[in-house]
Amino acid sequence: MSQHIVMIGGGIGGLFTGALLTKEGFTVTVLEKNAIIGGGLQCFKRHGETFETGMHILGGFMPGQSVHKILNYLGVLDKLNFKHTDENAIDSITYGVDGKTYELPRGRKAFCAYLSQQFPAEAENMQRYMDKVYQLADEVDLFNLRHGVNNIFTHSEEFLMPADDFIASFIKDPQLRDILAYMSPMYGGKAGHTPAFIHAIINVLYIEGSSQFVDGSQQLATALSDIIIKGGGEIFAGDPVVDIVVEERVIQRVVTQKGKEYTGDWYISDIHPSMLFKLTGPAAFPKIYRERVSSITNSYSAFSVYIKFKPDTQPYVNHPRYFQKKYGMIWELDAIDDVNFPKAFMYITPPSGEQGKWASRMLVNCVMSFEEVRKWEDTTVGHRGEEYEAWKEKHMQAIIDQLEQLHPGFRDTIDFCFASSPLTIRDYYNVKEGALYGHMCDCKNLLGSQVTIGTKVKNLLLTGQNVNLHGICGVPLTAVETTEALVGFGSVIDKINEAYSLYKQEHNIV
Ligand SMILES: Cc1cc2nc3c(=O)[nH]c(=O)nc-3n(C[C@H](O)[C@H](O)[C@H](O)COP(=O)(O)OP(=O)(O)OC[C@H]3O[C@@H](n4cnc5c(N)ncnc54)[C@H](O)[C@@H]3O)c2cc1C
């Protein structure tokens, strides 16, 4: 008899873990609160345009990278339509203060050579910095899909250094330091807190090549659900879990808003731990555990603008573009500063199936602290009041003004636009304080800022971004770990690597 899993949350973590467990012979029931599954993969349509909610840039999709290997193992690579960003520009960064634009090429050597050329006095330091970044990323076994025991004592001394200090320990030029930190919004970087290894992993991931889904990220959610359903599992969307009944540290059943009850051999939570505690009630976990986990600082949130262009007015650009008003702000992007808003943002023109010269849509993400919207925290979607709507409109227009400065005539190319705030993210994903990446990893308190897969509730495991790394690379890796907690340490990694060996043979990859 196959064991039955009840998955609470059908986001990236829930679907990857569900698909991996299905391959191991488990039957998985996924319970998702939103009408459409996917969490960060979910897309929505407005005025005929498809927009992504939480998956714009993909890392790990190049052959040999971890997500690519996992997708190959799951047999879904062929079902996905994604496109790599430009080889000569994985990203560009423009600084408002001096108008300079840097276009960063793909690959360790090219990336290092480009910045060494821009800052010749730092060429040797750049080389040393790059070597160390790659070394730190190599030290993380899971990131490289290797068996390994997490032991901070086996790492090099820079591993847990704050990322800003780490960069400064190699690079003297303050502008180059800033440029090297440009990906910090992709991992919620905070000066003095984000460990160097997180900076290293995300940088190596994207320097080796980034990608974008063609026609939206929902396709991955669909492909993963298909695996679960074909394996005998079920997916129920549009019905939040409202109660998890725990007796003597064992889950008895899970109850949804529509009054349905689900039982399983194991329960896995893909939701923010603080939200999980609300569903289990206080007695389920030891008080000390609840208090520690609830007090973990969350990563910052974001304000987003979604734009549909008039036909044939804005060029399609095949890489993300970053804007920063000045140098020196990158580690404090969430600090409230109405005068300088927007301090920085990232904007993309996601590709569509028949992508030609012109872009049909744009997404702009601007880091924002939840404190900006704290005064409306007790409101719900559609009922936040006129003051909030005026605040949102003002911030959206400030971002469009900045885009107009960068690309004169921009405003005239807009057909329609709308915005979302940290409250939208909080309510849509049910994530505390609208945190982009869940819990913040803090090198000042590494153990205190982490949660493990296993819990004191005997038949409950955790998955998703709050357990380990975030994003499209981190969450599938945690899914591997959660799966291995049930089927045996290292066994899934072995199968993924074996499947990739076959892939290499079939595709003549040396
Ligand atoms: C605006 C934004 C942009 C981002 N851009 C990128 C990017 O470009 N690249 C990248 O790699 N990462 C990006 N991320 C991060 C990425 O989306 C997350 O790291 C990822 O979605 C986390 O996966 P998860 O499974 O932990 O959570 P989610 O994907 O959020 O899944 C959790 C699921 O649980 C569901 N849920 C919550 N409560 C309940 C309940 N009570 N009952 C049932 N279901 C429930 C939620 O609806 C959700 O579907 C972005 C995030 C945001 C918010």
What pairing do the DSSP bridges indicate for beta strands 361-368 and 344-348?
A: antiparallel
Q: How far apart are the two ends of the chain, measured CA to CA in Å?
A: 41
Structure tokens at 149: 């025991």
Give the pLDDT of residue 1: 64
Q: How far apart are CA 246 and CA 224, in angstroms?
A: 29
Question: Hey, whose CA ends up nearest to atom 3 of ligand 1?
Answer: 54
| Ramachandran assignment for 430, one of left (phi > 0), alpha (psi -120 to 50 degrees), beta (any other) | left
pTM above 0.95, yes or no: yes
Could you report the per-residue pLDDT of 243-281, keeping only the tens digit for each?
999 999 999 999 999 999 999 999 999 999 999 999 998
Question: Distance from the CA of 425 to the center of ligand 1, in angstroms?
Answer: 9
CB 9 within 8 A of CB 39: yes
Angle at 314 between CA 311 and CA 315, to 5 degrees: 115
- Specify whether the CB–CB gap between 62 and 209 falls below 8 A: yes
Beta carbon of 18 within 6 Å of any ligand 1 atom? no
Assess whether the previous peptide bond of 286 is cis (omega < 30° from 0).
no
Tokens 């062929």 appear where? 78
Whether ligand 1 lies within 6 angstroms of the CB of 437 is answered as: yes
Treating both helix axes as pointing N-terminal to C-terminal, what angle do 218-230 and 66-74 enclose, rounded to 10 degrees?
40
Q: Over the stretch 249-258, which tens digit does the pLDDT of each residue have? A: 999 999 999 9
CATH class of the structural domain 4-83+214-296+443-506: alpha beta
Q: Are 413 and 436 in contact (CB under 8 A)?
A: no
Q: How far apart are CA 13 and CA 22, in angstroms?
A: 14
Select 107-208's CATH number: 2.40.160, 1.10.405, 3.30.1040, 1.20.144: 1.10.405
Q: Following CA atoms 299, 454, 161, 100 in sequence, which dihedral angle do they give, to the nearest 10 degrees?
A: -40
Total length of the chain: 510
C-alpha–C-alpha distance, residues 360 and 50, integer Å: 10
pLDDT tens-digit profile of 299-328? 999 999 999 999 999 999 999 999 999 999
Residue 152 has pLDDT above 70, yes or no: no
* pLDDT tens, position by position, 163-182: 999 999 999 999 999 999 99
Q: Average of pLDDT values for 50-65?
A: 95
What is the location of CATH 1.10.405 in the chain? 107-208
β-partners of residue 68 are none
User: Is 334 buried (19+), middle (13-18) or exposed (0-12) by CB count in 10 A?
Assistant: buried
Residue 429 CB less than 6 A away from ligand 1: yes
The protein residue whose alpha carbon is closest to atom 22 in ligand 1 is: 465
Tell which residue, 6, 19, 9, 483, has the closest CA to residue 272: 9
Q: Ligand 1: distance of its center to the CA of 227 in Å?
A: 20
Going by pLDDT thresholds of 50, 70 and 90, the confidence category of residue 19 is: very high
Q: Is the CB of 271 under 6 A from ligand 1?
A: yes
Dihedral (Cα; 187, 83, 225, 146), 10-degree rounding: -60
> Where are the CATH 3.50.50.60 domain residues in the chain?
4-83+214-296+443-506
Output the CA angle 253-6-255, nearest 5 degrees: 35
Distance 11 CA to ligand 1 centre (A): 6
pLDDT tens digits along 400-444: 999 999 999 999 999 999 999 999 999 999 999 999 999 999 999
Instruction: Assess contact for 118 and 111: CB atoms under 8 A.
Output: no
